[in-house]
Structure 1
Amino acid sequence: MAVVTMRQLLESGVHFGHQTRRWNPKMKRFILTDRNGIYIIDLQQSLAYIDRSYAFVKETVAKGGTIMFIGTKKQAQESIAEQATRVGMPYVNQRWLGGMLTNFSTMNQRINRLKELDDVDFDDVAGSNRTKKELLQMKREHAKLEKTLGGIREMSRVPSAVWIVDTNKEHLAVEEARKLRIPIIAILDSNCDPDDVDFPIPGNDDAIRAVGLLTRVIADAAADGLMARSGAGSANTPAEEPLAQWERELLEGDAAAPAADATEAPAAEATEAPAEAPAADETAEAAETTEAPAAEAAADAPAEA
């Protein structure tokens, strides 16, 4: 079953690019034609790249990875927050702060500060031992941190990959991800540079419906990955990155030891079994002793009558 259909892409306007005077020549291979001064993106290629990106996201999440959703333009803000929240992934949809990836230790301190302010009751002046002015300043600080860091409050480490809407607008995020060699999945409009993206999806990054559709596809892939991860966990299969050869051999050796102990245990029990046999004889003798008086009583009963 296809991840998304050609009809869905057409109805969402994924095939519309930018004006012919605003384009990146590197995108030529993804462009089908132009119409009324607007480039038309080849949706056949888009379908193939969607399937490729879907498989990558699903595999990454199934192995325990996380996908950060990034899109701060107005057309993307709502769908980025909605879809990322649906699958429990971190997201940034307001403003990209420099160092969110490359200086994550400092960013993590700000996240901890946000969590501290979450527990403050800004309306309880008497019980907080703070003045109204101090509480007002803290409330403003909390609102600011919530706006910029609320989407990554549960992110404990840098993501395994990033999903980006409009690589030109999010150039800082692209630069940080490339510096850390974090795989980038992104929509490539006709004015984007495909060399910056590891898993491109040629399409319209300006239409709300197009952005919403493609972001939902990535979220669906993450959801499938989470299901695969939970299934693997119940089957006691590793959900993290593949182990090295020496680690697999070590685990196999540890697993073989309990199996050997289990094989030896029945043999030991079989050896001890004859020692317990007299107990069965004693039980039989006790039963005979109990039955004897009962039989004598039954024999004497007619005589008394």
Structure 2
Amino acid sequence: MTLKSENSKMEKENKTKSTEPNVSNENTKENSQQTELTPIVSKQKLLEAGTYFGHKASQWHPKMQPYILKRPKNGTHILDVVKTQKTLEIAYQLINKLALKGASFIFVGTKKQARKVVEAQAERTNSIYVSERWLGGTLTNKKTILSRLKQMQELEEHAENNFSNYTKKEGVLMSKKLAKLQKNLNGIRGLKFINNDKLIMLVADPNKDIIAIKEAKKAKVKVIGIMDSNTDPALLDFGIPANDDSVKSITLIFTVLADAIATAKGGKALFAYQPTENIVLPEDPDKEHKALNKFRKVSAEVQNQVHHKSFVAKAKPEVTSQQKEENKHQKQGE
């Protein structure tokens, strides 16, 4: 699979503004006409998703300079959304063309912010995925991985009968083992049907999943993914400059990439070339959690202050009229 040659073809087509796709597919023809009318995703939606937020200037990778605006904002690098929009469109067209030629895809995103969208979009496109821990040898030692998959399937068969042929203790141990295998292997059940020479990796965070990328390089599997301001672009065969720490940003980018696969298979696009008002992004649970914690903290502080004032008021002894008279005479005597 020559990703670079396909990419260069796409760039030439963009420069010459060719409107005829190189495939005889009605969906692709409709998409090519649609691209002339609407952008892949509006800049407004890219800004709403926070795709432009990079990392602290001190954490940047120098090779990301072409994709970063000159002046950091509050010490944080800002990514150029114009370049994000352009590279996202090229990636979409590239993946769409590869999918039409029979390519398979593996979605990779083991960080918390990426897991849900990676699983959802991989399942939508009938692709394999890794959203938990990358198991060494997934691409370079398939024999071992396939043996684990077989073991998992056997345990699932026993689980259907509630491990009736085993003791209670054995059943509990086997159930725990099955849960562990399912957690790590659920997404790659279809691995045995995929050849590495037709496989493309889509990765949410190259730094987080560097082991997967290194293994992809060894297996000669091409990698397309998000590159934040702290990412080495050389890790990817094609990168999209965007925020890889935001749920909204990852969801937007990965849904568009999945749209490229879905439309190649006759499906519909959810985000790509859709009206801005039709693109609904999820709320960031981390931000909601932080906001809730902040509210709770402030509420606790207010309650403590009120409690402290009432406690002081209660602790202060009441002065009787007789004591007031005595205090008055003492002051006069002084």
Q: Give the TM-score, by structure 2 length.
A: 0.65
Counterparts of residues 122-137 of structure 1 (less than 5 Å) = 124=162, 128-137=164-173
Counterparts of residues 24-103 of structure 1 (less than 5 Å) = 24-33=61-70, 34-103=72-141
1:11 corresponds to which of 45, 48, 53: 48
Cα deviation, residue 52, structure 1: 1.3
SS at match of 2:78: strand
In structure 1, distance between residues paired with 2:150 and 2:239? 34
Cα deviation, residue 77, structure 1: 0.8
- Higher CA-based Rg: 1
Cα deviation, residue 16, structure 1: 0.6
SS at match of 2:205: coil
Counterparts of residues 280-291 of structure 1 (less than 5 Å) = none
Pair 1:193-2:232 in alignment: yes
Deviations along 1:130-173, one digit per CA (max 9) or x if unpaired, are 11111111111110011001011122234510010110110101
Deviations along 1:220-244, one digit per CA (max 9) or x if unpaired, are 111012228xxxxxxxxxxxxxxxx
Instruction: Give, as a single letter, the amino acid of the residue that structure 2 aligns with 1:163.
Output: L
2:175 corresponds to which of 103, 122, 139: 139
In structure 2, distance between residues paired with 1:30 and 1:105? 41
In structure 2, distance between residues paired with 1:113 and 1:225? 34
Pair 1:227-2:282 in alignment: no
In structure 2, distance between residues paired with 1:16 and 1:104? 38
Equivalent residue, structure 2, for 1:204: 243
Cα deviation, residue 99, structure 1: 1.0
Distance 1:190 1:28, change over 3 A: same
Cα deviation, residue 98, structure 1: 1.0
Cα deviation, residue 48, structure 1: 1.4
Distance 1:95 1:124, change over 3 A: closer
In structure 2, distance between residues paired with 1:121 and 1:169? 34
Pair 1:164-2:214 in alignment: no
Pair 1:150-2:189 in alignment: no
1:177 corresponds to which of 216, 219, 230: 216
Instruction: Give, as a single letter, the amino acid of the residue that structure 1 aligns with 2:176.
Output: R
Distance 1:117 1:190, change over 3 A: same
In structure 2, distance between residues paired with 1:100 and 1:78? 21
Equivalent residue, structure 2, for 1:110: 148
In structure 1, distance between residues paired with 2:149 and 2:260? 27
Cα deviation, residue 3, structure 1: 2.0
Deviating above 3 A after TM superposition, structure 1's stretches of 4 or more consecutive aligned residues are: 122-125
Deviations along 1:105-152, one digit per CA (max 9) or x if unpaired, are 211111121122222236635xx3211111111111110011001011
Equivalent residue, structure 2, for 1:238: none
Instruction: Give, as a single letter, the amino acid of the residue that structure 1 aligns with 2:104.
Output: T
Give the number of equivalent residue pairs: 226
Cα deviation, residue 47, structure 1: 1.2
RMSD (CA atoms)? 1.5
Cα deviation, residue 181, structure 1: 1.7
In structure 1, distance between residues paired with 2:90 and 2:81? 14
Q: Give the TM-score, by structure 1 length.
A: 0.71
Which runs of 5 or more residues in structure 1 are unaligned? 229-305
Which runs of 5 or more residues in structure 2 are unaligned? 1-34, 268-334
SS at match of 2:208: coil
SS at match of 1:78: helix
Cα deviation, residue 43, structure 1: 1.2
In structure 2, distance between residues paired with 1:116 and 1:17? 46
In structure 2, distance between residues paired with 1:101 and 1:172? 11
Out of 162-171 and 103-112, give the one that drifted further.
103-112
